[in-house]
Amino acid sequence: MNGNYYQNPTFPSNSIPTEVIPTTPPGNISSSSLMPMEQSYIENILRLNKGKRVNAYVSYPDSSEWQNKIYSGIIEEAGRDHLILSDPSNGNWYLIRMIYLDYVEFMERINYSHAYSEKNF
């Protein structure tokens, strides 16, 4: 190795704070829905459309059996790195990693909230 790697910083033993100060998570709070607005815009759109039926198109590039897959269901939750769908027709629940998500097809009008206004498409 060339020695140009990251090393964790070391701290003196007396630098441990005696008082714990709570921090707030990054992001803004949307006044219309009172949900935290994370930096991931896809997450925000999916969370605004919780309860709607969708088709999630997913690609697994390293898999020969599951390279492209479509998950159909209702948006239950969405996070920075995941999407949870439930399929009432068969009772299955799906946890989909955002890294594999190509796009989402909505079966009804989309709720969309921009920083200054809320729109329906």
Is 12 contained in some domain? no
> What is the total count of domains within the chain?
1
Which has more confidence, 33 or 61? 61
Sheet holding 82-87, edge to edge: 92-97, 82-87, 68-78, 53-59, 101-106
The CATH number of the domain holding residue 89 is: 2.30.30.100
Enclosing H/E stretch for 19: none
Expressed as residue numbers, the domain containing 78 is 51-107
Model pTM above 0.75: no
Is 56 contained in some domain? yes
Is 113 contained in some domain? no
Is 44 contained in some domain? no
Is 66 contained in some domain? yes
The pLDDT of residue 74 is above 50: yes
Q: Give the closest residue to 40 by CA, choosing from 95, 81, 91, 86.
A: 81
Is 103 contained in some domain? yes
Is 38 contained in some domain? no
Helix (H, G, I), strand (E, B) or coil at 8: coil
Is 116 contained in some domain? no
**The pLDDT of residue 66:** 83
